[in-house]
Amino acid sequence: MPRLSSTRSTFLSFQPPAIGEEEIAAVAETLRSGWLTSGPNAEELERRFAEYVGARHAVALASGTAALHLSLVAAGIGPGDEVITTPITWPASANVVVHAGARPVFADVRESDLNIDPDAVAAAVTPRTKAILPVHLAGQPCDLDPLHALGLPVIEDAAHATESTYRGRKIGALSLATCFSLYATKNVAAGEGGMVTTDDGELAAAIRNLRLMRRGEGSLYDVTVAGFKANLSDVLAAVALCQLEKVEEHAEIRRRHVAAYDAAVAELPGLEPLVRDPRDVHALHLYVVRVKAAEAGADRDDYQRALREELIGTSIHFLPVHRLTYYRERYPDQPSLPVAERAGAEVLSLPLSPAHSAADVEDAIDALRRVHARFTGR
Ligand SMILES: Cc1ncc(COP(=O)(O)O)c(C=O)c1O
């Protein structure tokens, strides 16, 4: 039941997609074309995405998870290998390492932005380490230079980082491979989908080969590798093309929403946004605050519950992956990662989408202020 104090009569979704008439028309046109599987739209999306991020190659896939998985397989990662990744991520980043037959090794994150700590990565390197898989959490690029300096292949999880730049360079062609997600909540949202960008032509060709059973001419075919079924449908590519067209327009709306949150949260002791590095362009995919219970008067779970009662949807990015059941059971010798473990209990993502109006964000802020006043007694 809504609380009487709520200013809303309807629930504010955490991250609704910003779909307009253009996307609807593009889907209708694709359906009428009779071409539903990967075809001209997926190819056009690859061209436009490669151009947008400044990479030589882009390969469209069925999901961000597939983008990461096929990148690892194409890079030759397999049984006996270790891949260092962050515990503060969607579990897909680690699951794909398991699917490739290798072992995910978790390195702790930095207190400031909860991105992987390059010193912790360096300390985790062993002779079995074959790649590093960092994540640009919330859209803040992680510190890539010290990771590249380790001399290992880097496969970036850029699911949150479509618009991001790192020290003036666009995320997309800085490492061996960069993997994006086109999932329903992402900054370029197709519903489902993914993209690998790279300057490495051989890697791109290997991923193309893996994403689909190879087809030959006519009714004859051959198989040169046991490929997956991880190609992107043209129906979804049609949506992604429209979304890519709007990416800067949507970024502007995100910037306004984030400025409103920054101003409000600065007045609420105990709610601390993740640090954004002014040297970088942050994709503003998520607005994450850490709830410091001692000052905020209650913990993250209390805040999330109270906001839900105020009809405000929130989310958690992320629970530390190494503490999730599968990882605890499969790798019982997990090291303790104190920064990630503390952060996992504090992070709360506030509603953020270009589909939200300024009034929606004001509703979320009003609710946050009321909840904070109640919990702190101020
Ligand atoms: C950090 C991160 N990595 C990977 C993924 C996987 O992407 P997808 O859902 O497109 O498979 C997601 C989100 O969904 C994510 O947030």
Question: How many whole angstroms from 87 Cα to the centroid of ligand 1?
Answer: 14
pLDDT of 197: 99
Residue nearest atom 14 of ligand 1, based on CA coordinates: 183
Cβ 306 under 6 angstroms from ligand 1? no
pLDDT of 1: 42
How much helix, strand and coil, in percent to the nearest 5, is found in the chain? 40, 15, 45
Cβ 189 under 6 angstroms from ligand 1? no
pLDDT of 218: 67
Cβ 297 under 6 angstroms from ligand 1? no
Contact criterion met (CB below 8 Å) for 134 and 179: no
CA atoms within 13 A on the CB side of 284: 21
Question: How many whole angstroms from 2 Cα to the centroid of ligand 1?
Answer: 32
Distance between CA atoms of residues 164 and 172, nearest Å: 9
Which amino acid belongs to residue 162? T
Residue-level pLDDT, tens digit, the chain, 378 residues: 444 456 789 999 999 999 999 999 999 999 999 999 999 999 999 999 999 999 999 999 999 999 999 999 999 999 999 999 999 999 999 999 999 999 999 999 999 999 999 999 999 999 999 999 999 999 999 999 999 999 999 999 999 999 999 999 999 999 999 999 999 999 999 999 999 999 999 999 999 999 987 665 667 788 888 899 999 999 999 999 999 999 999 999 999 999 999 999 999 999 999 999 999 999 999 999 999 999 999 999 999 999 999 999 999 999 999 999 999 999 999 889 999 999 999 999 999 999 999 999 999 999 999 999 999 998
Which ligand 1 atom sits closest to the C-alpha of 68? 4
Cβ 92 under 6 angstroms from ligand 1? yes
Cβ 62 under 6 angstroms from ligand 1? no
Distance between CA atoms of residues 47 and 239, nearest Å: 15
Domain ranges of the chain: 21-245, 247-376
CB atoms within 10 A of CB 356: 22
pLDDT of 2: 44
Question: How many whole angstroms from 86 Cα to the centroid of ligand 1?
Answer: 14
State the catalytic residues: 186
pLDDT of 3: 47
Cβ 194 under 6 angstroms from ligand 1? yes
Domain 21-245 has CATH 3.40.50.720: no
Q: Which of 129, 161, 158 is nearest to 67 (CA)?
A: 158
Topology at the third CATH level for domain 247-376: Aspartate Aminotransferase, domain 1 (3.90.1150)
Which ligand 1 atom sits closest to the C-alpha of 185? 14
